[in-house]
Structures are given as structure tokens and as C-alpha cells.
Structure 1
Amino acid sequence: MAAGGIARQDQQPVFVLHTYPFKETSLVVELFSRDFGRVAAIAKGARRPRSAMRGMLQAFQPLLATWSGKSELRNLHSLDWGEGLLLLNGEALMCGFYLNELLLRLLPREDPHTALFDYYSQTLRYLAAAEPMAPTLRRLELKMLQELGYAVPLTHQVEGTPIEPEHEYLYLPERGAVSPGDNETGVQLSGKTLLDMARDDYSDPATLLQSKQLMRMLLAHYLGDKPLHTRQLLIDLQEL
């Protein structure tokens, strides 16, 4: 605890999710931190040409941040490079911005999710290494919903019956898989797709296609009426 009762956090592992102008020369920085969740902080003077932080406020780079304060907007004092700088290009770069927008929309401020932070960090490394993008996105989308407390049951139907790989199911938001009926709207998919997702196996093209449809529906449900800007860009570039 710093003087005056102002909480100070030193050298915390973070990623920059987004920045936007604040007053004449500063920026508000949305950080995803490993131990404190999403933190908003003011980087004073960061828009000045000679600012020490200006060149470090880059998305997708592991950083170490020091901040203090108790209000909703903290004061960002310094940034240092973390280990293993990453380079995302082309569609991988757009995928990274899509993941950042998802985190900004779904992750409450100051709600720690260390497992999600570690998984996000690993996902960026997969994207930088040109791993297949579609399964990489599906894995993080699913992990994000699960870590944030949204139930995405994959191995059992709503009433508790085990999923059978050869059966067809209807997947409903907030509920899960049910037998297809006349009065329900959801995503129809095979039991094999659900079990493949539970095993983290996206090698079957049908699983990859149906899992995309499922995650798109679930995310639209939890995000509400405001669509993701980066999702549409990805769709325009390639069906991810």
C-alpha cells in the first residue's frame, strides 16, 4: 500500500486490449491483467511524441505494468516488455483484434480470471505461429464463456442423458442440448460435434463447421443487440 492509502501494483503481467484519447495528451488504456482482470488506467502524456510509454502501448505484446489508485480509472506509471514479443500479421492480426473485442465486451472490470489470461496468452502465440485460425478461435471462445461462468454443457442433454455421437440435437442458449422439437429455435448439430468439442478435437470438418455455428449463436445471445465490429470483418475476409 502506497502513501495516502492508494493501492499500488508493481510489474503486473498484462496485455493491452484497447486505448482511447483522454483529455489533450493522455490515453485511457484497457488492460487485461493476469491477477486483477480487466483494469482501466490513465497513461498521462502518452500521446506526446516523446512519451516513454507511447511506443509500448501495443496490443498482443506481453507487458509488465505498474499502476496505482482506487477509482475506476487507475494511474498507469510504467510499462516494461514481458517475455517473448509476438508478431501477428494479416488474418491472424484481425483474429487478435476480434479476441480483444470479445474480452472488452464480456469481461467485467477487475474480475480476475487467471486461467483465461494464460489461455489468451497461449492463443496469441498460436496465432503468431500461424496455427490454423478457425479451431484456435473456437477453443478460446469456448474457454472464455466457460471461465466467465456461462454454462456450455457438451457431454449431456438438458435432462442429464449422455450425448450420443450418432444422434442429432438442438442446442439452446442458457440450457444446452435437447432432442429436436417443433417449437424450439437453436442450432442443430450432431452429438459427435458436441463430444469432439468436449475433447478439444476439431479435426473433423463437420465439427469445425457446426462448432462455428454454435459459438456464433451463443456469443450473439450473450453479447446482445450490439454486434462485434471485428466479427463482421473476419466474415468478410474469410469464414472464421
Structure 2
Amino acid sequence: MEVPGNVTREPLRRSSVSKQGADTRITEQPGFVLHSYVYRESSLVVDVFTRDYGRVALVAKGAKRPASRLRGVLQTFQPLSVGWSGKSELRTLTSAEWVGGMIPLDSSALLYGFYLNELLIRLLAREDPHQGLFEQYVRALTRLATSESAQTVLRIFELALLKETGVAADLSINAKDRRPVEPEGIYVVDPENGPRFATLEDTAPRVSGKTLLDMVSEDYSDPQTQLQSKLLMRFLLAHHLNGVPLQTRKILIDLRQL
């Protein structure tokens, strides 16, 4: 997948790593801010999703001070080149530069972006690298910024996240007999094992085989696929989140009711 803007036209050099004892120094690492919160009086703890190191927690010292050059840089949904050092789980941010080249999310897409961020924070372990998922995240932000169907973007990213973290089975294969899913069949998806033919006793969402195959091929043009995939992903995510609701989803539901 091509990353838009400067990240593609002039790729960042792969991060250099130097070690002195147990201390590690990382430089020029592509990343995005997922979340930040106040740390002590003038600093921030920043949760950054990086290309080669996954999620890392970094202390941005003095970032809340009016004169800090980091105040305008550590923004969500903007591609950054970051560096850090340290030997504990909470490392020190040493550099952060805006890379540019991506269209900012408008007001209607911002909440969907925060939904993606919350999924990454909740389902991705710290320092667990997923370069493919990083590319999917850039792809999702780009599509949200260009007014593509938000629901399609979310379904593609949700499934990619479960695949990259190793908890999604192959939706094109019947888990019971290992035969290809039949487009005309009616299935339920076991969160741990994958699709199987639905029975009368099943309480999980029922989906057609065509919906499962459409999801694999990222084809959400069929209204039935749109509806069934939404219910299915909601069910699978709830399982892997141990039933704890997502805050951004609750806000989206509240806004629709208003």
C-alpha cells in the first residue's frame, strides 16, 4: 500500500538504534499520536503508534509549556517522525517532527478517527510491532479524509486489526469441515474458531456466506453485506474486548439518537 504525501514520495529512513547498556535510542521513526494525558505539571505522556515498534508510551517533557515546540506537533491523525530514549516501559521523547502529506480529518470524520485510535489502544499490546496494521491505519485515515464511506473504512480496519493481532480466523473457510464458505449458506462466526453453518440454537449474528466472502475481498457495495458485517464485527469486537464498551461507539450512538 502506498502511504500518501511526503511519507511516500520521500520515505523516512529506517529507524537507527544505538544501545549503551540497557538504554535504547530510537530516531526517525514514523508514527501517530493515539492519545495523550497530563504528566506532572508541564509534561505529557503520549501514546504513539509507530511503524516498527508498535505502541510506545513516551514522556514529552515540558510539552505543556507555552514556549514548547512540541505543543503544536503532538496532534492526533498527523504523520510524525519521532525519536525516544530510555530503558523503562515509559521512555523519554527526544524528537518529534511533523512529516505532512496527509489531508486533515474534517469534523464529521474526527470521531471515526478517534474510534480507530481507541481500538488500537484497547486491542494492541505495547511494543508489539505490526507494520501491516500501521499501513492499514494510514490507509483508513486517508479514506476517511476523502469522504469515502466511513462504514466501509471502519469494517475494513476492524477486520485488519483482528487479523494482524492473530485473533481473526479465515472468513472464507468453514471451521468445521475446512471447506470453502458457500455464498448461499447461512453462517455464524465463532470468535475463536471462525465460520460454521448456523443452527437453531445459535444466538450469534447470522450472516450469509456471500457477506463473509465480500468482507474478505473488501467489497461492501451490497446493502446486506453492509448491515451484516456491521453486526458481525460488533459481536467479534465485544468478545475480544471482554464485553467492555468502547467510549467512542457510545458517543456515536448518542449522536445518532440526537
What range is the shorter-chain TM-score in?
over 0.9
Aligned to 1:136: 153
**Structure 2 residue 66 is matched with structure 1 residue 66:** no
Q: Give 3-state SS (helix, strand or coil) of 2:72's partner.
A: helix
Aligned to 2:121: 104
Aligned to 2:9: none
Aligned to 1:43: 60
- Residues 5 and 169 of structure 1: is their aligned pair in 2 closer, same or farther, counting only changes over 3 Å? closer
**Structure 2 residue 137 is matched with structure 1 residue 120:** yes
TM-score by length of 2: 0.89
Q: Deviations over 1:129-184 (max 9, x none)?
A: 11110000000000000000012321111121221111211222212222222333
**Structure 2 residue 194 is matched with structure 1 residue 164:** no
Q: Specify every segment of 5 or more residues in structure 1 that has no aligned partner in the other structure, as ranges.
A: none
1:203 to 221, 227, 231: 221
* Equivalent-residue separation in structure 1 for 2:31 and 2:189 (angstroms): 35
Q: Give 3-state SS (helix, strand or coil) of 1:8's partner.
A: strand
Q: Specify every segment of 5 or more residues in structure 2 that has no aligned partner in the other structure, as ranges.
A: 1-17
TM-score by length of 1: 0.95
Q: Deviations over 1:28-66 (max 9, x none)?
A: 000000000000000001111111101111000000001
* Equivalent-residue separation in structure 1 for 2:21 and 2:169 (angstroms): 45
* Equivalent-residue separation in structure 2 for 1:151 and 1:230 (angstroms): 22
Q: What is the aligned-residue identity percentage? A: 53
**Structure 2 residue 171 is matched with structure 1 residue 154:** yes
CA contact (8 A) 1:7 1:68 kept: yes
CA contact (8 A) 2:187 2:196 kept: yes
TM-superposed deviation, 1:225: 3.1
Q: Superposition RMSD on alpha carbons, in Å?
A: 1.5
Aligned to 1:229: 247
Q: Give 3-state SS (helix, strand or coil) of 2:136's partner.
A: helix
CA contact (8 A) 2:32 2:48 kept: yes
- Residues 85 and 170 of structure 1: is their aligned pair in 2 closer, same or farther, counting only changes over 3 Å? closer
